[in-house]
């Protein structure tokens, strides 16, 4: 290859390139701008044609690259939106599950309270029945005692 080798080491002019302001150039303006900036540069028509072709290839590559970047940005945006949608669905699902658990707990508490009230009522009824039985037994025994006392008096 007759092409000069490009050194990977930074040269003395590297700092100049870092200090230059960014320039925005439209698609087909780069080569004319360079030729205008370097008027002393003699370029053959063959080299000029080759430079134009190289510029067009680079512009096409940059356009393709920016399209790919836009596509990847859209793809990432879609992935982010999908992740947000899935998160929202998961939050809704968790909320529904928590609401269901709360309703189930409330239902069980209501049943427990009803059973407790029923047990208290049954205990009250049983206590009243025991008291009535005790009173009836006492009444029967008292009557029997009085009858025995009366029969003794009659004798």
- Nearest 5°: the CA angle 33, 39, 45 is 80
For residues 36 and 26, which has the higher predicted lDDT (pLDDT)?
A: 36
How does residue 10 score in pLDDT terms, banded at 50, 70 and 90? low
Reference 99, options 30, 107, 52; nearest CA is 107
What's the pLDDT at 1? 45
For residues 137 and 26, which has the higher predicted lDDT (pLDDT)?
A: 137
Percentage with pLDDT > 70 across the chain: 84
What's the pLDDT at 11? 54
- Mean pLDDT confidence for 1-29: 58
Please report, for the chain, the start and end positions of each structural domain, with discontinuous segments joined by +.
25-154
Q: What is the pTM of this model?
A: 0.44
Mean pLDDT, the chain, rounded, equals 86
Model confidence pLDDT, tens digit, residues 48-71: 899 888 888 888 888 888 888 888
Distances (CA, A) of 88 to 80, 95, 100: 12, 10, 18
What's the pLDDT at 23? 62
What's the pLDDT at 145? 94
- Mean pLDDT confidence for 122-132: 97
Contact predicate 59/27, CB 8 Å = yes
């Amino acid at each position: 290859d007759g092409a000069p080798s490009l050194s990977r080491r930074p040269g003395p002019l590297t700092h100049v390139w870092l200090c230059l302001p960014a320039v925005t150039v439209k698609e087909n303006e780069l080569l004319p701008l360079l030729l205008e900036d370097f008027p002393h540069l003699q370029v053959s028509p063959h080299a000029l044609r080759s430079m134009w072709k190289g510029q067009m290839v680079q512009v096409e590559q940059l356009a393709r690259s920016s399209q790919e970047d836009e596509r990847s940005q859209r793809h990432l945006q879609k992935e982010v939106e999908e992740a947000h949608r899935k998160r929202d669905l998961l939050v809704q699902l968790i909320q529904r599950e928590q609401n269901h658990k709360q309703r189930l707990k409330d239902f069980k508490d209501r049943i427990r309270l009803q059973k407790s009230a029923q047990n208290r009522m049954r205990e009250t009824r049983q206590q009243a029945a025991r008291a009535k039985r005790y009173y009836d037994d006492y009444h029967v025994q008292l009557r029997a005692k009085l009858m025995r006392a009366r029969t003794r008096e009659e004798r």
